[in-house]
Structure 1
């Protein structure tokens, strides 16, 4: 107990009450607060200040805000508002609050039928904690009707995973920037807590500056005068974690290693992958080898996610094979984390490995790097903030619009994909240039400057992080110390537990049988390509009279593999990589195509191919070879009619792509009144195949079976 607390009876009583609330929260009569936890609680519940807590995963950050909530509610304060990024995290937080007798509820996209009832409970004072996502803060009805009342009545505001506020954070989210607006509207003296486990010194400064009440100085150290921000930054070592890197040359060896060694890892855990396709491939293979695992990603239905999280926490599955969608804040006692492929930064990696080792003395953390990791990093890097010309185009369209424009309508005017366009709009909204309203987005008319230098600095920082991740793989230094140094942990020292410190060793041996079975699995070509069912919204804006359901779409198609797949994916990435010379279909892919056809058995009387400007030889060889193999004629092509429309033009969003394909291509073929096999080299959006199939149907084909070597997604 600090001297200040000992000398103040009110603080002594608050500390004693806080200890009681902690015991209820954790269910142990001997539980006590650590001094740094009490320092944070005292700042919030006694001094009513703003605080930033940067502490390792498992330190007990949720205990700080739940105990502070209990103390503040006893003082008559309003409900705590927790801004939390993930539904999985919200579910854990609600369960923890319930254990402490704290009534917590959430308003999110999955429970909109409960919103009115929850809002009534908030007004009646029956809710102690409200959890909302940052995205909810700019939902028009929530922002205009609920948020002002919360700002006026909240007793405490908590920003969880606060590194998301910062451009420099590894998981920056534009919606988090709105939090500063909420903080500016709070009544004077309302305490605010921001928490994270993954912030280096630069991110810590950035977040702290955004917490500073208007008109006060920027914090530059841990000691704060009243009115400024208390920054509590602790050591980031995770004493239970044993870090190791196991280098294996091929995807077959990595899958085989998992099959051989997963059962040796203690307890349940997470196998992280870089793509959704990889989670499905690996989970399928491990299940076939007798392991109880399941795939988990952002594409997993919300109800299934909740069930899988519970299965993992209660040990009913050995592992979830997951993307980073199972990340921040997932709280369970896990014995291991394995990464198949390296995240693009040491900070992101620290975040993921932090899921293991809570409530256990030991947890094993194994990284299996892959050659394709850098290709995947490059893809995600390509989704960065758009160039100024596209941003100005969005602003111009909104300036000239008669009323609000929904995102699908905006897509018809600008060549940006849905997720990237929404991210751009959120940034412009936070910057005050646009505003989200019922029905879409409107321009505010406010001047806006493109901060080219800032975006360049962020891009450069990402490149440094990728280089650091590669250094982590090859370092002979202590691995935990390496990660702590990346997070600017001043107390960084050798851990004595990792493979480089001699504290753990994992064999790279893989049984021949496992490699063989993995090879068989990965060598099994053929991925279904479902047909497009609906035309993009608002094509009329582009002068195209197509809308609603697609009449007579093609049948379900096939590709050998996706570019992100572990098996043929690497061959396809090499084939379609920039700079690879045009040429005939490589022999291994010829064999794979034949295997796909033997399994698929499409009934076709003729072949039509999509003409390619980039790989004309490849596509012609593909068509001629199949003609000989299937003994059916090539009757024409979906030809390039306007070479001024570049390959892939408009591919960022569906409306733009439909317009580009219609301008670029026309059907030149003698189409029989029967089924046709439609060939292309690479399926991206799927609109080229859809429009080519439409043209073939109109020319008399009874059915169209799309077939390509690969797909991008």
Structure 2
């Protein structure tokens, strides 16, 4: 029987000779290894949850039991865990999207019993080969199953992932004596209850270890520094004074790149880190931060769970996340082994615009979901690209729906795609509505956090239903408890310089190169590469930009009117810096249901200033179909034949003007109509780009 002394010895291998196994850590290990129970551990970041499952894994292997399977959500987390396992003498390997070439060898090592720990991404659990060939053996022979960052199981959690809910299938197939450990640092009462239900760890023999969530090193502050340019200038002024190296979070990819560029111009060693960053570059950037080669990574939420730099000196948010629970999770990266770390929130009025956008891509309507089920054959697999033109959902939302339906049993992923199972499916409208209301309450709580005059740490702990939080408890460290450490005032010259940098207009509009698959099924005979579309275009800015974003959002939200002078001036700057192969000789406005005056007046002003021929407006055909689809194939089908053929001479490239470039298909289809009428090339120009 494993003893606490044996566990202590492994901990010293893992964390050093001065590490001491705490009572509650041993309680979890004992429940898993000795009593073979199931446990749910909800403890703050830095408590030592990974130590619990690595020690348990080694003790179980020493007793002759099988490998531990750890379901882990992020590549960064997996890399850190494999390194930690190696320090403890635990043989670990990972199966994820970045090491495809190693999968077959790792599968063989699993079957041969050569691994102590196998880390898998939740997406692997429903890969047909893994699910059918590897998973049964793991379910039969595993020594322990660990679900790390278990709040991802719950759609009440701040980072719900449909793939995570497949874990309940794995748990259901385990032998009765195989222990299960679920861990998270960010779960309130509702998420804890939901995780327990999803994983089946809510029975009488389940040990629930739930500790206090105070982080004694964190010094929380909220700084009201003004508009986006002022907040960026504040950051550029104060970054050097923040301790050590850290993370600056932004709400969007565009903001991360904009802020990184601004800070580099101020001489800081920083880099952008987003969900669009390649895996190899992410790993290098993480290493740069770990080894203090950069002052900060300017990151989206892609850098979060699992990134472990114990001496991270600060976390700054340039814009507030939509949930206090998500905020607590992100700031928890700081100060894990330091006595003090600065946590600063610089909120902006435009944050709520970003929240509304992400809320707009929630789970689709019942009719839309049922159309996905109806489009699938029970006997012949349909791939996701082949399914996309059959339903009006874009790729990312379609993939989310398929994953949820798979978990619910209505569809199944097989080799070659997806099949319908014929299992009746219930659309839980009340649950989705209740979930949406909960999201709105979280957003309001995030606004309340910014304005509270009470203890900020106590506020966050209350949101997480911290069982150890006293009624009148205060942290004594935040700006409301100990006084403000940062002044929100910004030097006017610095703010003007930041504004000038952020307000430099001009972003590229990428040209569509390939027709979406399956158009023939919608009666459109287009396929393969696009040979008659537009050239790459330009927009003044993105709607999510820190600089032009707010101005463009206001402009497009206002009633239709003549284009303002500042917008014309920005458009002229973009055109002046455009490195086109052949300068346009004419300009044409796209017809619009919402902003006809705005667009036509912009085209007219550009014609005057650029000495271009004003070709008027490319008018919609009276018989056109309305374009309401978000799916690419559906949009192309709806846009086909939407414009009356222009009757005008063309003596060179045409600048085609619109208000908003979103999917790129409107410009593509309109450019085909203009080129078919004789234009040698079409150059798209929009006031704003959605991404």
Fold-level similarity (TM above 0.5): yes
1:436 is aligned to 2:413: yes
Q: State the alpha-carbon separation in 2 of the partners of residues 463 and 666 from structure 1.
A: 44
1:658 is aligned to 2:636: yes
SS at match of 1:637: strand
1:241 is aligned to 2:221: no
377, 380, 389: which one aligns with 1:403: 380
Q: CA deviation at 1:664?
A: 3.0
1:190 is aligned to 2:168: no
- 1:280-679 aligned at under 5 Å gives the runs 280-332=257-309, 333-399=311-377, 403-492=380-469, 493-502=473-482, 505-577=485-557, 580-600=558-578, 602=580, 603-642=583-622, 645-646=625-626, 648-650=627-629, 652-679=630-657
| CA offsets 1:63-90 (integer angstroms, 9 cap, x no match) | 0000000100100111110000111111
Q: State the alpha-carbon separation in 2 of the partners of residues 669 and 126 from structure 1.
A: 74
1:691 is aligned to 2:652: no
SS at match of 2:646: strand
Question: 1:165 maps to what in 2?
Answer: 153
35, 43, 54: which one aligns with 1:55: 43
| Residue pair 1:242, 1:503 contacting (<8 A) in 2 also | no
23, 32, 53: which one aligns with 2:12: 23
| CA offsets 1:380-426 (integer angstroms, 9 cap, x no match) | 01111101110111111115x77222122222122111111111111
Question: 1:135 maps to what in 2?
Answer: 123
| CA offsets 1:269-302 (integer angstroms, 9 cap, x no match) | 0000000000000000000100000000000000
Question: 2:242 maps to what in 1?
Answer: 265
Which is further off, 431-440 or 202-211?
Answer: 202-211
SS at match of 1:668: coil
Structure 1 residues 642, 417: closer, same or farther in 2, change over 3 A?
Answer: farther
Which is further off, 237-246 or 136-145?
Answer: 136-145
SS at match of 1:476: coil
Q: State the alpha-carbon separation in 1 of the partners of residues 565 and 23 from structure 2.
A: 67
SS at match of 2:645: strand
Structure 1 residues 74, 149: closer, same or farther in 2, change over 3 A?
Answer: same
Q: CA deviation at 1:207?
A: 1.2
Q: State the alpha-carbon separation in 2 of the partners of residues 274 and 56 from structure 1.
A: 24
Q: State the alpha-carbon separation in 2 of the partners of residues 712 and 621 from structure 1.
A: 22
| CA offsets 1:629-657 (integer angstroms, 9 cap, x no match) | 122222253321156633x522x221111
Q: CA deviation at 1:538?
A: 1.5
SS at match of 2:80: helix
Q: Structure 2 regions of 5+ residues with no counterpart?
A: none
Give the root-mean-square deviation of aligned CA atoms.
1.4
| Residue pair 1:78, 1:125 contacting (<8 A) in 2 also | yes
Structure 1 residues 291, 406: closer, same or farther in 2, change over 3 A?
Answer: same
1:82 is aligned to 2:70: yes
| Residue pair 2:225, 2:489 contacting (<8 A) in 1 also | no
Q: CA deviation at 1:700?
A: 2.2
| Residue pair 1:43, 1:50 contacting (<8 A) in 2 also | yes
Question: 1:65 maps to what in 2?
Answer: 53
| CA offsets 1:112-145 (integer angstroms, 9 cap, x no match) | 1111111111112111111111111111111111
Q: State the alpha-carbon separation in 2 of the partners of residues 102 and 541 from structure 1.
A: 53
Q: State the alpha-carbon separation in 1 of the partners of residues 198 and 80 from structure 2.
A: 27
SS at match of 1:706: strand
| CA offsets 1:6-32 (integer angstroms, 9 cap, x no match) | xxxx4xx51110000000001x22321
Question: 1:6 maps to what in 2?
Answer: none
Q: CA deviation at 1:601?
A: 6.0
SS at match of 1:22: helix
Structure 1 residues 314, 504: closer, same or farther in 2, change over 3 A?
Answer: farther
| Residue pair 1:637, 1:667 contacting (<8 A) in 2 also | no
Q: State the alpha-carbon separation in 1 of the partners of residues 524 and 649 from structure 2.
A: 25
Which is further off, 627-636 or 66-75?
Answer: 627-636
Which is further off, 300-309 or 661-670?
Answer: 661-670
Moved over 4 A (4+): none
Which is further off, 357-366 or 634-643?
Answer: 634-643
| CA offsets 1:148-190 (integer angstroms, 9 cap, x no match) | 1111111110000001111211111111111000001111200
Question: 1:114 maps to what in 2?
Answer: 102
TM-score normalised to the size of structure 1? 0.94
SS at match of 1:681: strand
| CA offsets 1:223-258 (integer angstroms, 9 cap, x no match) | x5xxx3111000000010000000021111111111
Q: CA deviation at 1:33?
A: 0.5
TM-score normalised to the size of structure 2? 0.97
Q: State the alpha-carbon separation in 1 of the partners of residues 75 and 25 from structure 2.
A: 25
Q: State the alpha-carbon separation in 1 of the partners of residues 484 and 225 from structure 2.
A: 18
| CA offsets 1:325-365 (integer angstroms, 9 cap, x no match) | 00112111200000000000100100100011111111000
Q: Structure 1 regions of 5+ residues with no counterpart?
A: 1-9
